[in-house]
Amino acid sequence: MPRGYRPGLIAGRPAGKISAMVTLEQVIVPPPAPGQPLDFLAMFGDNAPVEMEIGSGKGGFLLRRARALPDRRFLGVEWANKYHRYAADRMVRWQVPNVRLMRTDAAHLVLHHLPPASLAALHVYHPDPWPKKRHHKRRLIQGPFVVAAVDALADGGRIAIQTDHAAYFKQIQQVLRDEPRLSEAAFDVPEAGAIDGRMETNFEIKYRREGRPIYQIAMVKTASARPRPVESAKGGMT
- Angstrom distance (rounded) from CA 173 to CA 189: 19
Q: Is 128 a catalytic residue?
A: yes
Phi-psi region of 102 (alpha: psi -120 to 50; beta: other; left: phi over 0): beta
Pick the catalytic residue from 128, 151, 164, 178. 128
Contacts of 27 (CB under 8 A, 6+ apart): 88, 91, 92, 99, 100, 101
- Angstrom distance (rounded) from CA 95 to CA 139: 34
Which of 65, 69, 68, 62 minimizes the C-alpha distance to 84?
62
Tell me 22's DSSP state.
Answer: P
List active site positions: 128
